[in-house]
Amino acid sequence: MGKTCDAQVRKSGGLGSGISWRYLFMFSIMLNLSLLISRFTQDHKTTTGLGLGLGLGFGLGAQQSKRDVSPLSFTDKAPVCGKMGSTNSYCAPIIGFGDEPLINLDHGDPTMFESFWRSMGDRSNIVISGWQLMSYFSDIGNLCWFLEPEFARQIRRLHQVVGNARSEDRHIVVGTGSTQLFQAALYALSPSDASEPTSVVSAAPFYSSYPSITDYLKSGLYKWAGDAHTFVKKGPYIELVTSPNNPDGYVRKAVINRTGGILVHDLAYYWPQYTPITSQADHDLMLFTVSKSTGHAGTRIGWALVRDKEVARRMTKFIELNTIGVSKDSQLRAAKILETVSDSCGHSDDADHPAESFFEFGRQQMTKRWEQLRDAVVKSGMFSLPKFTNDFCNHAGQTIEPHPAFAWLKCEGGIEDCESFLRGHKILTRSGRHFGVDSTYVRISMLDRDETFNLFIERLSGIRK
């Protein structure tokens, strides 16, 4: 709506001189900045006042989490957005101008990969006609009836090329992002006739959205029960294993290992740009998403590889009830994107146009960024970072270092609230409190565009006691 009104104003003329508009704009920007700053101060106060993030339900009989940490809890930390081209909008996570603009690295928008896709030119274009893809159905012969066969084919091909997960004898369930598939898994794995909700746990630090996504509907089927390390309740449970882990990037295994436990493996980051591919994952239920594998977060497509047919059937049922399937347009686009990635790994059918390897591009970018980050941390002397072990990557054919999609930064030197400390330096991050640990930690996205990342590094390097 803002846009249409802008147009009206533009047409109506009003102030004739360009310079007057500039002055007004600059004045307005100053007003924006003061409002934003006062708002963040306000948010911080509100957060403390409401106990947001306090009293996490770890351990026995966890309480309903009071937190509301959504996957992109940007609503109170809005990046500035604009239009770029006729069909592409973007949000610049740098707010304001001058010496100290605000840098938003709270969410994990994977815009770093945009430059690779631009370099592909029209190789990954898709064209969809008005008469195509109109029916609800994609492949009624398949258990997951809304899965486009071409997308399924490209998923299997990519896993084969990368060697990161066993897909050939698994059921594929497509979802509107892996967030929907995570809920589909909870629905599928929780008995519908149990006397109480199935406990859902994950080892801290865990993905900050797990508690709110599990509990927002107050389901009688499943309930968030906190940190897997301290979970002692008897009976069935679901343990979420994120590997490499969001937020800290470590490779993980289940921590409970008890009878009656069911595992869901979130492998969103198990790709060669982030971590060595040491073996072909072979778990019962594995989740993947294009947002982290290829950078296409706006496409809202994920997939699950599921061993058990009945579990896959129930996950399909969830998605049928939740959204009557998954958009075909997006599946076709995702298929083209995965095809381009596989082709780029030296498996191109088109010998005349060998592409740069997508994963090699990603790994080089991440290597460079992690080097910059570690340098900045040394320069500042105020922070520490996780240390990772090198390992042989079957895909790269060499020993490589992990370079996670998020930096799990710890404030040293007695700073207790790292998020607030960095906010004071106009860097927005997500506090460790949201991940089930203490507030000396923050999570920082490593996947933003170059200009944002470089500004962040510059800012971080300069922070002194």
Please check whether residue 124 is in contact with residue 340, taking contact to mean a CB–CB distance below 8 angstroms: yes
Q: From CA 293, how far away is CA 110, in angstroms rounded? A: 9
Least Cα distance to 463 among 402, 409, 383 occurs for 383
Q: What is the DSSP string of 263-304?
A: EEEE-TT-STTTS---S-B--SEEEEEHHHHTS-GGG--EEE
CB atoms within 10 A of CB 18: 7
Q: How far is the CB of 450 from its own copies (least distance, A)?
A: 15
Binding string to its own copies for residues 340 to 379, with x set by CB under 8 A, is what?
x---------------------------------------
Token match 């994952």: residue? Answer: 281
430 is an interface residue for its own copies by CB under 8 A: no
234 is an interface residue for its own copies by CB under 8 A: no
Please check whether residue 286 is in contact with residue 275, taking contact to mean a CB–CB distance below 8 angstroms: no
17 is an interface residue for its own copies by CB under 8 A: yes
Q: Are strands 237-242 and 261-266 parallel, antiparallel or unpaired?
A: parallel
Q: Which stretch binds its own copies (CB under 8 A): 21-29, 264-272, 389-397, 430-438?
A: 21-29
Q: Which stretch binds its own copies (CB under 8 A): 11-19, 55-63, 246-254, 349-357?
A: 11-19
Least Cα distance to 214 among 184, 234, 194, 248 occurs for 184
Q: From CA 148, how far away is CA 139, in angstroms rounded? A: 7
Token match 């409190």: residue? Answer: 433
**Member of 44, 59, 139, 278 binding its own copies (CB under 8 A):** 139
Q: From CA 256, how far away is CA 199, in angstroms rounded? A: 13
What residue type is assigned to position 423 of the chain? R
Q: Which stretch binds its own copies (CB under 8 A): 269-277, 328-336, 348-356, 431-439?
A: 328-336
Please check whether residue 432 is in contact with residue 418, taking contact to mean a CB–CB distance below 8 angstroms: yes
Q: Which stretch binds its own copies (CB under 8 A): 218-226, 348-356, 361-369, 375-383?
A: 218-226
Binding string to its own copies for residues 84 to 123, with x set by CB under 8 A, is what?
-x-xxxxx---------------x-xxx-xx--xx-x-xx
Q: How far is the CB of 51 from its own copies (least distance, A)?
A: 14
**Member of 296, 363, 443, 459 binding its own copies (CB under 8 A):** 296
Q: How far is the CB of 462 from its own copies (least distance, A)?
A: 28
CB atoms within 10 A of CB 109: 23
Question: Which positions from 301 through 320 interact with its own copies, judged by CB under 8 A?
Answer: 301, 317-318, 320
Least Cα distance to 183 among 296, 321, 36 occurs for 321
246 is an interface residue for its own copies by CB under 8 A: no
149 is an interface residue for its own copies by CB under 8 A: yes
Residue 2, classified by CB atoms within 10 Å of its CB into exposed (0-12), middle (13-18) or buried (19+), is exposed
Q: Which stretch binds its own copies (CB under 8 A): 6-14, 392-400, 434-442, 452-460?
A: 6-14
Binding string to its own copies for residues 165 to 194, with x set by CB under 8 A, is what?
-----------xx-xx--x---x----x--
Q: How far is the CB of 79 from its own copies (least distance, A)?
A: 6
The nearer residue to its own copies, 144 or 418, going by C-beta atoms, is: 144
Question: Which positions from 49 through 88 interact with its own copies, judged by CB under 8 A?
Answer: 70-72, 74-75, 78-83, 85, 87-88
Beta-bridged to residue 60, according to DSSP, are: none
